[in-house]
Amino acid sequence: MSNQEFVEHTCGECGIVFCITEERYRQLHRTGDDFYCPNGHCRAFTNTDAKKIAELTSNRDYYEDMARRKQGRIEHLERQLNSYRGHAKRRRKLQRQAREG
């Protein structure tokens, strides 16, 4: 006698309730492969682990790119600020020299 666990599943087409081994159920979720209900209707899990991984990878790439662009913008603004500070320092020096004479 086998000691397998089963998952109950309902066909979205005809409504029949049937069981799939837990191992097969996980495999179908992971791969998105087709399977059939006892009445022959083709079924598939569309939100597979592979799709989730691809979506998360895409999101990660997007946010990494955004972070690189933001970092570049920050560095640009820091250089600009340092330039303005240098101009302000020279201006104060010239004003002080003009006052002193």
pTM for the model stands at 0.46
Beta strands in the chain (DSSP E): 6-10, 17-21, 35-36, 42-43
Nearest residue to 26 via CA among 38, 35, 15, 14: 35
Summary mean pLDDT of the chain: 89
Task: For residue range 16-60, list pLDDT tens digits in order.
Answer: 999 999 999 999 988 888 999 999 999 988 877 778 888 899 999
pLDDT given at position 1: 52
User: Which pLDDT score is estimated for 29?
Assistant: 84
Residue 37, number of CB atoms within 10 A of its CB: 19
Q: Report pLDDT for 70.
A: 96
Bridge partners, 7 (sequence order) = 20
